[in-house]
Amino acid sequence: MTQVKPLRKLDDLLDSRLMSKLDAIDVMSRKIFSGKLQGERRSRRRGQSVEFADFRPYVHGDDLRFVDWNIFGRLDKLFLKMFLEEEDLSLVIAVDTSASMRVGNPDAFDYARRVAMALGYVGLVNQHRVSLVGFSQGRVERASNLRGRRKAADIAQWLLTLEPEGASGFEEAMRLVGTSRSGRGVMIVLSDFLFPEGFEKGLSMVAGRGFDLFALQVLAPQVVDPTREGGVTGDLLLVDSETGVETEITVTPELLRLYRDRLDRLCGALRGYCTRRDIVHMVVESSTPVETLMLEYLRRRGLLR
């Protein structure tokens, strides 16, 4: 069994080679959001960018600097020039820190942290406002409003301090994120979505609240195929990593078939739910190289460009 090197520093999360490749890409939102700060993204707001948007009659109190004096000379009326505002993009990366993410080889938690680091880096490089949320049962950790390349180390440090434990608490975490957002934008949820209570309520907390939502379902290879190296065979006592519930099984082809059916059904349900809510759903195995994910899969799905 191949042992994955534990993550201890920024390079472990994101090496410089991938970092240089990520410099050239940006997060793409399928929606146009209002930002808080002037940024590099076109905003719904009319603002101070060079890109002309429209005219409107001057009203009292308007900034006289935006009056089009040429029009006033011809028409003798005051018109205000309106430009497209360029604002920053809010990028929220939610990482599932429940114990279930720690299982597998390579485990989904490390993979999720590396993906979060890569996405966060892309956001920082493109002057977006990056927020990170780590959630598990009764515990929501946040790193909010990070901006600029220099903050990459902060993100790394924050990610490295995360430790998976307990149940997911997905619904509660999403409720917090949805109600206390500091700006609309793109939200990426990195989780295995193996929640006993279901994912629907949690997703519904953020799906209808102005986020361009991406559900990245990270699964360990042994979850996708239990017979893989280090998987289950024979008579086993399965222990749930989150709840501690024990289940006795005897692995038979029939049982495996049923398990795979169940997993397909779960993923299918998630996919269906996401499709209905305009959420992008994507399943990724934790054995997939992060570079491949970032540069190929996510670009293909429209999250990055």
| Residues 117-156 as b or e (16 or more Cβ within 10 Å = b) | bbbbbbbbbbbbbbbbbbbbbebbebbeebbeeebbebbb
Q: Which of 159, 242, 273, 284 binds another protein (CB under 8 A)?
A: 242
**248 binds another protein per the rule CB under 8 A:** yes
**251 binds another protein per the rule CB under 8 A:** yes
Q: What are the beta bridge partners of residue 140?
A: 135
Q: Which of the stretches 52-60, 116-124, 237-245, 297-305 binds another protein when contact is defined by CB under 8 A?
A: 237-245
Q: Which of the stretches 26-34, 45-53, 192-200, 269-277 binds another protein when contact is defined by CB under 8 A?
A: 192-200
> Which among 117, 137, 133 is positioned nearest to 125, based on CA atoms?
117
For residue 265 the two structure tokens come to 């059904």
- Closer CB to another protein, 174 or 218, in the complex: 218
- Closer CB to another protein, 91 or 101, in the complex: 101
**138 binds another protein per the rule CB under 8 A:** no
Residues 199/96, Cβ–Cβ less than 8 Å: no
- Least distance in angstroms from the C-beta of 95 to another protein: 15
**259 binds another protein per the rule CB under 8 A:** yes
**247 binds another protein per the rule CB under 8 A:** yes
Q: Which of the stretches 1-9, 152-160, 262-270, 276-284 binds another protein when contact is defined by CB under 8 A?
A: 262-270
**20 binds another protein per the rule CB under 8 A:** no
Rounded to whole angstroms, the Cα distance separating 83 from 45 reads 9
Sheet with 212-219: list strands edge to edge: 139-146, 129-136, 90-96, 185-191, 212-219, 280-285
| Residues 240-262 as b or e (16 or more Cβ within 10 Å = b) | ebbeeeeeeeebeeeebeebeee
Q: Which of 10, 194, 206, 304 binds another protein (CB under 8 A)?
A: 194
- Closer CB to another protein, 223 or 294, in the complex: 223
> Which among 27, 101, 108, 109 is positioned nearest to 294, based on CA atoms?
27
For residue 305, the SS3 value is coil
**268 binds another protein per the rule CB under 8 A:** no
Give the residues lining the site for another protein (CB under 8 A): 100-101, 103-104, 108, 192, 194, 196, 220, 222-223, 227, 232-243, 245-256, 258-259, 261-263, 266
